[in-house]
Every structure is written in C-alpha cells, then in structure tokens.
Structure 1
C-alpha cells in the first residue's frame, strides 16, 4: 500500500501580503456569512469574499480588505500593531471576570399575595412566616457580600413579595450602609416587588436610602390580570398606581418594569409595548418563559423557541417604529447584545458570560440560609435538583462556598472557547453559557447545543439584529443610540 506523500513545506507557507488572525465564521443568511473575532468585531461577507479572504487573495485596495484589517482579522507582514490592539481589547473585555461577584440577591421571604401562572419559585401564603429569612442569616450574608472584591455592589431584595417582610428589608439596607462606611463600595439597592404593599413608610425609606424598585408589568389590564391574579381586585390597577406613586415620590428613573411572554401574550406584542409607551417607560425586556417552577407544569410546553422568536421580531419592529415616532424605547435584551457587539467592555449581564456568570457574577442567599450560585439555581433546587447549591450560611465560610465543587465544576465546563460547538460558533463573542438552563432541560450543565433552546434563541436573535444593522440604515441609527 502506497504511503501518502506530504507536499513540501513551502506549500503551507502563508501567502504574500497578509496573514489571518484568530476568527470564526458562519452563515448569516442564505447569501451572506459573518466572521467574528474574540473581541466581538464582525464583518459581513459574501461567500466569494470569504473564500478569497481565507485564501489570502484579497486585494489591499478593496473595501472588504480595509474592513477586515481595521477590525483585526488580518495583519500585514511588516506590522505587529494588530496583535497589540487585539490583546488590549481582549484584556479589557475579560476584566469583568477578575472583578468578581457584583450582584447579591437576598430572598427575604417566599410569602406572596399573587398567584402568577409562570411563577418560578414555590410561593407561600401570606401567613406562612416560617418562610421568612432570619435576621441572623441576613447578617451572615451581608458579611459575605463585602468579601467580594467588586467595587460595585448591587443588593437585590426578592421574594415572594419582599415587602411582606419589610422589617428585614429595612434591616439589610441599613446594616449594609453601616458596613459600607468601612468598605466604601459603590452600593446600590433594588427591591423587586409587585407593589401591592407599597406604603408611605416604604416610599419614605426608599427615598432616604436611595433604593430603586423593580416590578412586573405584563401588558394591558386584561392580559396582566389574567397572568398575575390576586385576591380582591385588579393586580394591574395596583401595579399602575404603585408605579405612579414611586415616580411622584422618588422620581421617574427609580422604577423599572419587566414582562414575561406566555402563550396568552404571543399574539399581543404590540399591545404589551404600547402599554409601556403609554406609561412612559423607556425600556422593555421581551422576556421568554424560563423552565422552572409553575411554568414547567402549566405553560412552558405550549410554545417553543420559534414562537418566541416570531414574537420578538414583531416586537422589535414595533419598538423601532415607536422610536422613529419620537419616543425612546429600548428593547433591553437587544441592548445587552449590542453592548456585547460594540462596547469595549462588553456587558455585565450575568446570563451571557464565559465562563458562566453563576457565583462569580451573582450569589443568592435563600430565606432558609442556603446559598446558591444563581437565582435560577435556587429555582431548580425548589424542583428537587440541588446541583447549584453551594452551601449554607450557618456552617460554610466564604472560601468554602466559592471553592465548592458545585461552583468550580460548572465554571470549568462553561468556558465557551472550549465547549463543543460553541468553540467554532461565530456568535461566541456575544453569547454566554447557561448551565442551569441546560441542567433543567437536558440534565447536563453543558448540554447538546443542537437541541438547546438557549442556543436557538441566541442565534435567532443575533442573526436578526445583525441583519438589521447591516441592511437598514435608519434602524441601525436607532439601535446604536441604545448602546
């Protein structure tokens, strides 16, 4: 049997003129490709342009050559500037990992007065005080908060309905501010509330201590009330009244709102957006359902990724028209992705990090003293899977929590550059790893990307947004204003 003969070394030498820097490429649509590099730069190419580029046959005086050179996809033999700039940009985008945990979530109670169909946690009745966080656990959690080296600390107070345990909310904020006299961090507080228990006392406290509020608004009254029922009246009316009160007392920028897409809202994206515009909001997050809690039993199987992507595309088109008409309204998920594309620092959004943002991006202190690597990890534990439980405030130190196998193992597995299929994906610089989602849907923290709804969603959104950026000048100008 004859042995294969290798060609001479000269056959493998780079072509004259330029060499390739690290890149990934893939199909953007039926006729075009996208090439990306590790710092999020991209160029849209026709197939013949891509073939000529990788074959080192591009002429230096062409538009494509100049675009690829300026965005660090190639370097010329007589210069190393591209290497230095690429390294600087990569280092800037990776700095967030070294900053460590900035978001700290306190679940001060599981009690709630709403019965939302898509609730991701096991809510409890209003009189179930045994599901309130103890002061001792709150104090231990606060000690851990300031062990993080991050200069910017956000403490988010969640439930249930956290205002049902307002005395503990007050204690956490006041004690954190007292501790911060020593630690001197940039400290921010957010209460995530349905606003049903908003009182003058709560508003006065928020005003005094600079506390922000976040609420849920699923759309106009009939849609919101159907998805977020409560005893004794309209939850929509209560929410709207609360929004107005917060703005009157604290100011227009001290409250934000979040919606959740259910099968009921799929065909009503314009109505949802118009409600946010009517109420004067300048941001809306077209959020899909998450596979945790009650949603897994009642809603999650009633629509798929393609249904949500259609909802999102119609919604983004309507939002762009709203902006063109003079009202600034950002779609927040799109804005996060645009930051990943255009900002030199990328985005701090926990769910789109490599390695995954669990633990090193956010920590969750549960009402019972358990510590989780993410809020979704806590939700998964409520469903019986404690994969992302790091330990307990009563008997685990900060060092033990942050070096536990429950954290280090998924972090090691979720570095995108080494994950199957992710490593070669052109959308890697704009994506992230979601080990909790894949554990919940596939029983594995990495997951098989071919069957991953997370991947299908990311690629669908990114292809759509980049297509708009490259083909619609008016829409591109609007999108860039969001960044």
Structure 2
C-alpha cells in the first residue's frame, strides 16, 4: 500500500512510517445482523437466528462505527447484550460459534423430514354458497366430482413414501362430509399402510359441520380425527359470508361445534376466521363471538387472492391497510380479554412470536423459508392432479397450472418431488436469497411465497415494495415488537401464547 504525502512542500511520493499502518486495537468485531426503524425514537436489530434488541434511534450507527465502549458506564449493559445475543464478538470468531450454529440448525429443522401435510380434496361438491370460496363448487354428480378410490390409494402410497415419520392426512372439499364414505375408506386404508411403513398419522377433516351426524362423530372419536371448521363471527357476519340456502349456517356450525366438543373434547375441534370486507367493520364483535363460544384461540387471516374468490371484488377485495387496522383492533380486544383473566391467543401472532422468542421452527407453511410448499405440504386434487400447495390448487381452478407437479397414478414419487417443476420453484423459495428479503430485518420471522407472488404480481420472485404479503407481515411484526417493548404486561401475555400458560 502506497500513501501519497500531500504536503505542499514535498514533490516526492514516499511510504509513511511503519507505525502508520498498524491497525488500531478494536473493542469488538461485528457479526451479521440487520436493522429496522420501529418508531421515531426506536430501532430494532435482528441477528441471523432471530435474536432481537430494541435500541434508541442512532444506536445501530454507533455499533457499526465501533463506538460502543464497555469502559463507559452508559454502554456497559448494551455491550453485554450485544455480546450475549451474537451481534458482536470480542474475537474475530465468537467463542460460542457452535452454539450459534446449533440454534440456526434448530430453526431450520422443519426441513429434516420433508413433506408432512398431505391434503386430499376428497370432493368438490358443496351445499353452501360462500361468496369467498376459492374453488368452483358443485352440488351434484358424485361420480365426477368425488375422488376415486384409485386416486385415494395412489395418494396414500405417496404419503407413505415421505421420509417424514409423522404425517398429516387432511381431507378438504368442497364439503368433505359429502364424501364421508370415501373418508372412511381412506382412513381405514391409511391405518393399515401406516403400520406397514411405521408412520404416525394425524387425521384432520375440514368441514362446515352442516351435515354432521352422530355416526360421523363416533367415527372421528374412534380414529382420533381432528375437526377444523370455519366461524366468521356472529350470525349476521357468518350467514352473509357463508350462505346456506334455506338455513342458518351460523346456527348449524355452532351446534356442530358443541356436539363435537361433547364427544371429542375441547382440543378436538378448531375454527378459522376468513376476513371479508364486511368482517373488517366488526373486529371486536368477531373476537367476542369466539369468546362467547368458549374458544381459547382465534386465527385472524385476510382473504386469499386465489381462484373464484376474486370474482366477487365488492365483498372480497380490500386494501392491506384496512386489514391491518382490523387486525390491530381485534388484537387489542384479545389482549384485553387476557388482561381481564380469560386466556385467548391470536394464532398468527403466536406463530410469529414463536419465531421471535424461541429457537424452535414453526410448521406454518406461509412463514417458512425455504417455502412450505412441497417441503411441508402437497395437495392431491379430487381429479388426481397434484399441486405444490392448497393455494396452487385454487389457481388451477382458474386454469393456471403453474404449480401442478404431476398426476396420481401416473407420476412416480421422484418425478413429483424431484422433477423440473420443483427444481425451478426451489430457486425462489428461500427468502434469505430474494431481493428485498435478504436485507430485511424481519427476514427470519417471515417466509417466501412464490404462489402469492405469481398470483398478485405475475412473477415468482415478486416485488417487495408493492407486495401485500410483505406489507402485511412487516407491519404485524413491527407492531408486535413495539408492543412488547412498550408494555411488559402485554409482553407477558404474548409469551403465554407460546407456552400455553396464562
């Protein structure tokens, strides 16, 4: 290295003295982390394994500039926190680098066993006429719109080939209970195959409960089957969202929930909210209905931009900002119930909080990187088509086969899961390598969703500044962090949602 002497009295170029090139001693070395502005006075830093620190605005600049001095009383606590949480190190390589590596492996351990969730669209028939339904539902022709035994057998065979020792078999529709005989066949067949292949199987049926019978409930009980239903709030919302001709769908689902609880127990049935334009006007009433019916969790999710749901734009389309306003009001109501002594958690926040506050992975497909499609879920359609996710199946109803992986009974396991289609998708499934995500402070709490990107932006990679997925998750994550930092009572509530202990 040559340094030019810029003195006006010198016309020659010469080296400085050796002492000039000796690096000044460093107090610490930077480890990889990202930062984000939380509010006008606060920012957050997040490292590669999701550890976070909320710090005063401008502190990140001081850290990067090497200005945090443990000899100063005002910096001592911050310095200790930065060391303990792997933001800086007093040596070029942290002494506990193996601990850091183990925690990172744990975060990604959902990849260890590959696909777990196998969705069987057992029938496309349905007796409801929900305006937000994402698939083209039909009411007749059992032979054409129910999954054939041949396809059921082929789907079970693929499920048994999964390297995952614990798989989930989920039945969807249409209305799954319209094909109850097929469900019975599939469960009995799977029980036999699971014993042969040493698999543990969890069974789930997604149903509106309108067709529920005592015989069905007994079958659920005998086989340990979990029930997932939809409850969009009080009757005036639910009946508008989930219309059933000549009947109250709300009354039917409430009665069905109670009947299932009596036989299957509290944990045997869960419910989901789908947020329509009408729902946005009533966040508190929706939460109140879940509490009235004795639920201890609620999943607030926006409407999906897939399939036939997009045709009813007046009821189903709204700006992300409106959903976020709804979400925060509903979350405030949920928090207040907890403060008043009634335990109820919001599931989407709980998933994010688990990623923030624990070293463990989550099984929620939308918030995984690599993305959960294929890695965690695969869908077997009623007609034998295989899709990378449930959303991919909905796209296919609009003749978009971008995410079709193959056909049951025609393609081998290797062709389905290791073929060209999955190889192409794998290039856009890791948010650590996506533009806009790779430098985002919230990257470790979020996921990659090429299906959403393709649907809303016409591109598998997507454009973060105009992505509703990005806008929604960034604001919810920011809001949760700021809430915990500003109110320790609420932080305690959030932590209880992870542990299940109030």
TM range (shorter): over 0.9
Runs of 4+ in 1 over 6 A off after TM superposition: 7-12
**Which residue is 1:58 aligned to?**
68
Deviations 1:400-448 (A, max 9, x none): 0001222221222221111101100000000000111111011111111
CA contact (8 A) 1:118 1:293 kept: no
Deviations 1:344-382 (A, max 9, x none): 122111111111111111000000001001000000111
Please point out which of 140, 153, 161 is paired with 2:175: 161
Matched pairs, number: 480
Radius of gyration: which is bigger? 2
Distance 1:268 1:113, change over 3 A: same
Q: Structure 1 residue 68 and structure 2 residue 78: aligned?
A: no
**Which residue is 1:106 aligned to?**
120
**Which residue is 2:9 aligned to?**
none
Find the aligned partners of 2:297 and 2:118 in 1 and give their Cα distance.
23
Give secondary structure in 2 for the equivalent of 1:116.
coil
Find the aligned partners of 1:153 and 1:372 in 2 and give their Cα distance.
17
Q: Structure 1 residue 93 and structure 2 residue 103: aligned?
A: no
Q: Structure 1 residue 396 and structure 2 residue 424: aligned?
A: no
Please point out which of 371, 377, 380 is paired with 1:362: 377
CA RMSD of aligned residues (A): 2.0
**Which residue is 2:475 aligned to?**
460
Deviations 1:186-210 (A, max 9, x none): 3110000000111111111111100
Find the aligned partners of 1:211 and 1:84 in 2 and give their Cα distance.
41
Give secondary structure in 1 for the equivalent of 2:118.
strand
**Which residue is 1:322 aligned to?**
337
Structure 1 runs not aligned, ≥5 long: none
Q: Structure 1 residue 213 and structure 2 residue 223: aligned?
A: no
CA contact (8 A) 1:24 1:37 kept: yes
- Shift, 1:302, TM fit: 3.7
- Shift, 1:79, TM fit: 7.1
Find the aligned partners of 2:487 and 2:343 in 1 and give their Cα distance.
18
- Shift, 1:80, TM fit: 3.2
Q: Structure 1 residue 475 and structure 2 residue 490: aligned?
A: yes
Query: TM-score, with normalisation over the residues of structure 2?
Result: 0.92
Q: Structure 1 residue 432 and structure 2 residue 447: aligned?
A: yes
Structure 2 runs not aligned, ≥5 long: 6-14
**Which residue is 1:41 aligned to?**
51
Query: TM-score, with normalisation over the residues of structure 1?
Result: 0.96
CA contact (8 A) 2:27 2:69 kept: no
Matches within 5 A, 1:222-301: 222-299=236-313
Find the aligned partners of 2:107 and 2:295 in 1 and give their Cα distance.
30
Find the aligned partners of 2:372 and 2:445 in 1 and give their Cα distance.
14
CA contact (8 A) 2:276 2:316 kept: no
Bigger CA drift: 410-419 or 293-302? 293-302
**Which residue is 1:409 aligned to?**
424
Give secondary structure in 2 for the equivalent of 1:478.
helix
Bigger CA drift: 326-335 or 60-69? 60-69
Q: Structure 1 residue 448 and structure 2 residue 463: aligned?
A: yes
Q: Structure 1 residue 192 and structure 2 residue 235: aligned?
A: no
